[in-house]
């Protein structure tokens, strides 16, 4: 272990962080919207819709992300029809292939998390909403989804962490994010241990910040689980009297 | 001071005798190859390792009277795994370069294959005229003039190479900022992207392109421009051996020299490459 070499390595690896951030944020943002839609489709009373959603989730949860990245990048480009289509300007670029693979993958996992959240909304809350005259989309928007998302947040935070780590697979389709750069430095220096220790620390730090952020959001979203300001004081006062 | 020097010398002598004692122990040698660099070494449809280097390794082992086991190892971890002792020798189309020599030792070269650019037949780059070989060490000025010409032709293009190869290093050294360099885990992957039109060209050795272009998989490809040796491409292809195993290196040096002299290397290279890649002795 050579601290000076590790410091130099850190400087080079950090250059991959912006790409990592882009991959994570873009695929999580699109993936989240898709996940909500898929979860709603999965719970839809329309059988074909529900089955299509279930099939999609089955496929993307049941196959390794590595295989999905390969199939989307190297697989699709094998078809001349695709190379001639309007999609090619996007699929030609490794960046968009990675975004596509990551988005479809995270949406599949996310949809199951959100479905669980929706199904865990207490029946009483929905009944109360119905009693207040809400139904359909309004009920979903005002009552079900907010509660469901709050319930799903801890599990979804997990998925976000997995996504950060999954970006390391982008290096196999020539994208130079942190792991890609790490491989390159190793190929130049053959010092695998030091480089991977630094690369691992970068992921660790990013995920540390991410878990803090998710915790903070959880705290904001659950004021009802905390005591009201001054509550403890009042209780104590009541006991004294 | 003198005492210390004596101690060091004594230590070295001890190490040397230890090494010599070990020399007799080389009955079994574990050889690593990549298994994804046809026709050098590749995994056939039955899942078995095949190729020029597999044949050569078996021949060398027979000459050295040792029992050999050949295993496949991913290219990007092939040197760290050697130094970590997972196997004893690398025979995987590896060029002997100064950078690699800092970490491991090499046998004498058993092959010499210049580097070449391949492009799609339909690409405008296919018009670059083919040229002779230029050595980046022996006639540097002339070779670099050729590089300058290529720079003008390839400006703004996307060029691929396998990661941690002399070809990737060559691109980094001469074309950084001029072309968009993409690095791939295997050569098969840059071929897929080349035929798909994602990249405009790819650098690999002539020993890789020639056989590929003769096959249906390479029917859309053509090699262009001059070929290069020396400089980042090093001094030919050799067997990688740990620095500590000087005795093993000696065994391989002897066997390779003998195999080159009696025409075995030529015979095998005609079988796999259809041309002679025996290095100049």
| CATH code at position B256 | 3.40.190.10
User: B185 and chain A: CB distance < 8 Å anywhere?
Assistant: yes
Query: For helices A3-14 and A178-189, what crossing angle results, to 10°?
Result: 140
Cα pseudo-dihedral A7, A199, A92, B170, rounded to 10: 50
Confidence of residue A184 (pLDDT cuts 50, 70, 90): confident
**Domains of chain A from N-terminus onward:** 3-240 (1.10.3720.10)
Q: Are residues B229 and B120 in the same domain?
A: yes
C-alpha A15 chain-centroid distance: 22
Q: Are residues B68 and B158 in the same domain?
A: no
Confidence of residue A101 (pLDDT cuts 50, 70, 90): very high
Mean pLDDT value across chain A: 92
Q: Are residues B120 and B105 in the same domain?
A: no
- Model pLDDT, residue B19: 43
Pairing verdict, β B158-162 and B180-184 = parallel
Residue pair A202/A185 in contact (Cβ under 8 Å)? The answer is no
ipTM of the complex: 0.74
Q: Is B241 within a domain?
A: yes
Q: State yes or no: cis peptide before A174, omega within 30 of 0.
A: no
Look at residue A238 and tell me whether its pLDDT is greater than 90. no
Contacts with B99 from chain A: Cβ below 8 Å: 188
User: A199 and chain B: CB distance < 8 Å anywhere?
Assistant: no
Q: Are residues B13 and B98 in the same domain?
A: yes
- Model pLDDT, residue B1: 47
C-alpha B31 chain-centroid distance: 15
Residue A172, CB-side half-sphere exposure with 13 Å CA sphere: 17
Q: What is the spatial distance between Cα B181 and Cα B115, in angstroms, rounded to a whole number?
A: 16
Q: Are residues B139 and B107 in the same domain?
A: no
Length of chain B: 281
Q: Give the containing element (helix H, strand E) for B204.
A: strand B201-205
Q: Is B153 within a domain?
A: yes
- Model pLDDT, residue A62: 95
What is this structure's pTM? 0.78
Q: Are residues B77 and B56 in the same domain?
A: yes
Kindly determine whether residue A184 and residue B196, on different chains, have CB atoms separated by under 8 Å: no
Q: Are residues B151 and B183 in the same domain?
A: yes
* Token reading at B154: 């390839």
Confidence of residue A232 (pLDDT cuts 50, 70, 90): low
Q: Are residues B104 and B146 in the same domain?
A: no
Q: Is B73 within a domain?
A: yes
Q: What is the spatial distance between Cα B238 and Cα B97, in angstroms, rounded to a whole number?
A: 10
- Model pLDDT, residue A166: 96
Kindly determine whether residue B184 and residue A174, on different chains, have CB atoms separated by under 8 Å: yes
- Model pLDDT, residue B279: 85
- Which of B79, B103, B198 comes nearest A92 by C-beta? B198
- Model pLDDT, residue B4: 54
Q: Are residues B108 and B240 in the same domain?
A: yes
- Which of A77, A92, A184 comes nearest B163 by C-beta? A184
- Model pLDDT, residue B235: 85
Q: Is B31 within a domain?
A: yes
For range A8-26, the mean pLDDT? 96
- Model pLDDT, residue B132: 87
- Which of B79, B99, B182 comes nearest A174 by C-beta? B182
- Among the listed residues A175, A180, A228, the one whose alpha carbon sits nearest the alpha carbon of residue A202: A180
User: What separation in angstroms does the CA of A187 have from each of B160, B164, B215?
Assistant: 16, 5, 31
Q: Are residues B21 and B73 in the same domain?
A: yes
Kindly determine whether residue A174 and residue B160, on different chains, have CB atoms separated by under 8 Å: yes
Q: Is B209 within a domain?
A: yes
Count how many pairs of residues, chain A against chain B, have C-beta atoms within 8 Å.
Answer: 45
Q: Are residues B107 and B244 in the same domain?
A: yes
Confidence of residue A236 (pLDDT cuts 50, 70, 90): low
The structural domain count of chain B equals 2
- Model pLDDT, residue B164: 81
- Model pLDDT, residue B23: 47
Q: How many CB atoms lie within 10 A of CB A135?
A: 11
For range A48-66, the mean pLDDT? 96
Q: Which domain holds residue B138?
A: 115-233
Residue ranges for chain B with pLDDT beneath 70: 1-24, 281
Q: How many CB atoms lie within 10 A of CB B29?
A: 22
Residue pair B96/B230 in contact (Cβ under 8 Å)? The answer is no
Q: Is B174 within a domain?
A: yes
- Model pLDDT, residue B3: 54
- Model pLDDT, residue B217: 86
Q: Are residues B129 and B264 in the same domain?
A: no
User: B43 and chain A: CB distance < 8 Å anywhere?
Assistant: no
Q: Is B182 within a domain?
A: yes
User: A190 and chain B: CB distance < 8 Å anywhere?
Assistant: yes
Q: What is the spatial distance between Cα B86 and Cα A186, in angstroms, rounded to a whole number?
A: 18
Please tell me the least confidently modeled range out of A73-82, A182-191, B100-109.
A182-191
User: What separation in angstroms does the CA of B155 have from each of B142, B151, B158, B176?
Assistant: 20, 6, 9, 10
User: B184 and chain A: CB distance < 8 Å anywhere?
Assistant: yes
């Amino acid at each position: 272990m050579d601290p000076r070499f590790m410091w130099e390595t850190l400087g080079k690896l950090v250059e991959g962080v912006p790409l990592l951030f882009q991959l994570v944020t873009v695929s999580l943002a699109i993936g989240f919207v898709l996940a909500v839609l898929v979860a709603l489709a999965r719970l839809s009373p329309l059988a074909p819709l529900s089955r299509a959603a279930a099939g999609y989730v089955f496929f993307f949860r049941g196959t390794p992300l590595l295989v999905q990245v390969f199939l989307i990048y190297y697989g699709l480009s094998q078809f001349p029809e695709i190379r001639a289509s309007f999609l090619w300007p996007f699929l030609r670029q490794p960046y968009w292939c990675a975004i596509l693979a990551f988005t479809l993958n995270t949406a599949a996992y996310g949809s199951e998390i959100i479905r669980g959240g929706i199904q865990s909304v207490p029946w009483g809350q929905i009944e109360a909403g119905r009693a207040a005259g809400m139904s359909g989309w309004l009920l979903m928007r005002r009552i079900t989804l907010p509660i469901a998302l709050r319930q799903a947040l801890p599990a979804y935070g997990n998925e976000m962490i997995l996504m950060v780590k999954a970006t390391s697979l982008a290096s196999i389709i020539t994208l130079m994010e942190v792991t890609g750069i790490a491989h390159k430095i190793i190929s130049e220096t053959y010092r695998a241990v030091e480089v991977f220790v630094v690369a691992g620390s970068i992921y660790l730090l990013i995920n540390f910040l991410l878990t803090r952020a998710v915790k903070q959001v959880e705290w904001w979203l659950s004021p009802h689980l905390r005591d009201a300001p001054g509550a403890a004081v009042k209780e104590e006062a009541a006991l004294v009297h | 001071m003198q005492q210390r020097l004596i101690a060091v010398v004594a230590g070295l002598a001890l190490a040397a005798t230890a090494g010599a004692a070990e020399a007799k122990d080389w009955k079994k040698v574990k050889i690593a190859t990549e298994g994804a660099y046809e026709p050098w070494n590749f995994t056939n449809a039955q899942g078995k390792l095949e190729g020029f280097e597999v044949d050569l390794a078996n021949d060398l082992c027979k000459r050295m009277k040792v029992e050999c086991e050949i295993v496949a190892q991913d290219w990007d971890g092939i040197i760290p795994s050697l130094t970590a002792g997972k196997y004893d020798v690398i025979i995987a189309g590896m060029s002997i370069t100064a950078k690699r020599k800092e970490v491991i030792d090499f046998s004498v070269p058993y092959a010499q294959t210049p580097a070449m650019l391949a492009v799609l037949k339909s690409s405008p780059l296919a018009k670059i005229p083919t040229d002779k070989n230029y050595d980046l060490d022996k006639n540097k000025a002339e070779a670099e003039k050729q590089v300058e010409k290529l720079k003008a032709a390839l400006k703004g293009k996307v060029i691929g190479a396998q990661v941690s190869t002399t070809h990737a290093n060559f691109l980094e050294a001469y074309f950084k900022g001029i072309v968009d360099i993409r690095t791939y885990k295997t050569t098969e992957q840059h071929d897929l992207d080349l035929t798909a039109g994602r990249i405009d060209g790819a650098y690999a050795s002539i020993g890789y392109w020639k056989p590929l272009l003769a096959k249906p998989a390479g029917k859309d490809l053509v090699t262009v421009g001059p070929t290069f040796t020396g400089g980042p491409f090093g001094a030919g292809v050799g067997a990688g051996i740990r620095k500590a195993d000087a005795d093993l290196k000696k065994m391989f040096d002897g066997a390779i020299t003998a195999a080159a002299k009696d025409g075995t290397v030529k015979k095998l290279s005609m079988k796999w490459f259809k041309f002679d890649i025996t290095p100049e002795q």
